[in-house]
Amino acid sequence: MATSNDIKNGTVLKIDGQLWTITEFQHVKPGKGGAFVRTKMRNVLSGKVVDRTYNAGAKVETATVDRRDYQYLYQDGADYVFMDTADYDQITVPATVVGDAANFMLENQQAVIAMHDGSPLYIELPPSVVLEITYSEPGLQGDRSSAGTKPATLETGYEIQVPLFVEQGTKVKVDTRTGDYLGRVTE
């Protein structure tokens, strides 16, 4: 057990048997009345976001979440196989836990997996990854109907919007949180 004063970003709370991670918090001390903590939290499993307020010093139940570095090995049917980089143990993670991260994962890529009581909760990729464009229509110089972007397919099979000058075979940097194009990568 901890108090609401111990809350910070990334803290995982156990509320009504469900795990919630704190994405934003603010300690508020109004001029009149008692202090309180305003939080925004995301359900670890469903992704639902809620706002919740706690009185200062209120007891909250924290959950122990072990975050470890893993290397993505391969996909086995609907599941994904990862290897712990510290002790080389392999774990199988279901597609529901991997979620949208699968759009940006290549074999041998590093990822952080958060575990609670031996079961994987979610996967964190680096903020951006470098992927190659495997298919893209040629951009026409006079075509500006779509604000200068066109669809392009990445080597993972995921489709993003890129500027007209980006061609097939180009390596691009992609934001793993939003799927946005961040720029070309020259090697």
For the chain, which residues make up each domain, given as ranges?
2-60, 66-124, 128-184
pLDDT value at residue 98: 87
What CATH architecture is 2-60? Roll (2.30)
Contact by Cβ (8 Å): 152, 108: no
The C-alpha angle 166, 171, 174, rounded to 5 degrees, equals 90
Residue 100 CA to residue 84 CA, distance in Å, equals 21
CATH of region 66-124, choose from 3.20.20.140, 3.90.1150.10, 1.10.287.3510, 2.40.50.140: 2.40.50.140
Contact by Cβ (8 Å): 125, 118: no
What tens digit of pLDDT does each residue of 106-136 get?
Answer: 899 999 998 888 888 888 888 999 999 998 8
Residue 109 CA to residue 155 CA, distance in Å, equals 14
Q: For the structural domain made of 128-184, what CATH number should be given?
A: 2.40.50.140
Binned at pLDDT 50, 70 and 90, residue 167 comes out as confident
Residue 143 has pLDDT above 80, yes or no: no
pLDDT value at residue 92: 92
72 burial via Cβ count (<10 Å: 0-12, 13-18, 19+): buried
Binned at pLDDT 50, 70 and 90, residue 168 comes out as confident
Residue 149 has pLDDT above 60, yes or no: yes
Residue 52 CA to residue 55 CA, distance in Å, equals 10
What tens digit of pLDDT does each residue of 33-87 get?
Answer: 889 999 999 888 777 899 999 998 889 998 888 889 999 999 988 899 999 998 9
Question: DSSP string of 90-143?
Answer: EEEEEHHHHGGGGGG--TT-EEEEEEETTEEEEEE--SEEEEEEEEEPPPPTT-
pLDDT value at residue 65: 85
Separate counts of helices (H) and strands (E) for the chain: 1, 16
